[in-house]
Amino acid sequence: MNIPDINAVKAFLLTLQDKLCQQLEHVDNNAKFAEQSWQHKHKGGGRSRILKHGTIFEQAGVNFSHISGKQLPASASENRPLLAGRRYQAMGVSLVTHPLNPYIPTAHANVRFFIAEKPGEPSIWWFGGGFDLTPYYGFEEDIIHWHKTAQSVCLPYGKEIYPHYKKWCDRYFFIEHRNEPRGVGGLFFDDLNQPDFTTCFHFAQDVGNGFLNAYLPIVEKRKEIAWGERERQFQLYRRGRYAEFNLVCDRGTLFGLQTGGRTESILMSLPPLVRWEYNYHPESNSDEEKLYNQFLIAKEWV
């Protein structure tokens, strides 16, 4: 089947949002997501869900949006000249967690679908998404588990899929002005419309559903580790890198702002607390230095 079923995609995304929120609430065992529904200035809208001040998560957001417009913004169309003059629909679910314990990594996941249409011409559609991990203190077994889960998601679609999307993730989540990765990667894909709609949709579903299998075991393993002011200050400093990427580099942030989306929802990915320190360098042979030397590097984990 190669005719996009927009209603099926939307139904999946709404269900995925519910599933992600339920599981994160269960793990936190204290705070609950608060929902705000919003309307887009042109057509559509979304529902933003934010959890704050939890036992595990200082803040977490799981947002759904479905918007449409007469013309895609430059962030989406500059490399796709065929999209000029087409109406579009864009829908997706995005998730970001900012744990309180510095030994639990920040995580991001996203599944999205675009379709651009013009009377008398075939529609142009594609899926995108993935998930990536941003630790503050590195544990090799956690990163290996993360990438093995990503690999298992991709394997039914071909042995070449995981290496390709792993490298794409490494390239995308790279902070050019710092010359360093944002984290330890995972999966990233975009412009996915081959071989057909059904296969692409199944893959997008598997990526969305695979995130919890990759992330929750890490949360459970690290949530009881004691931490103090040193770890907290390093976490806040490294969160600054996360904020820099999202504000300077991320196409999703730019797309949301250029299409007139809800600013609070778009920027929910930013950490609730963050700090910057001029010319900071970790102590030699410290766990903080280990993050840079052993984890924030180009590496094949599986």
- 94 labelled ligand-binding: yes
* Radius of gyration (C-alpha) of the chain in whole angstroms: 19
- 101 labelled ligand-binding: no
- 213 labelled ligand-binding: no
- And the tokens for 162? 């995981």
- 110 labelled ligand-binding: yes
- 112 labelled ligand-binding: yes
108 in catalytic set: yes
Calculate helix-pair angle for 197-222, 140-154, nearest 10 degrees: 160
- 184 labelled ligand-binding: no
The β-bridge relationship of strands 174-175 and 121-134 is unpaired
- 177 labelled ligand-binding: yes
> Which letter, b or e, does each residue of 138-166 get, where b requires 16 or more Cβ atoms within 10 Å of its Cβ?
bbeebbebbbebbbebbeebeeebbeebb
Q: Are the CB atoms for 52 and 25 separated by under 8 Å?
A: no
The catalytic position among 53, 66, 108, 145 is 108
- 75 labelled ligand-binding: no
- 260 labelled ligand-binding: yes
Binding residue ranges for substrate: 94, 110-112, 260-262
Catalytic positions: 108
Binding residue ranges: 94, 98, 108, 110-112, 147, 177, 260-262
Binding residue ranges for a divalent metal cation: 98, 108, 147, 177
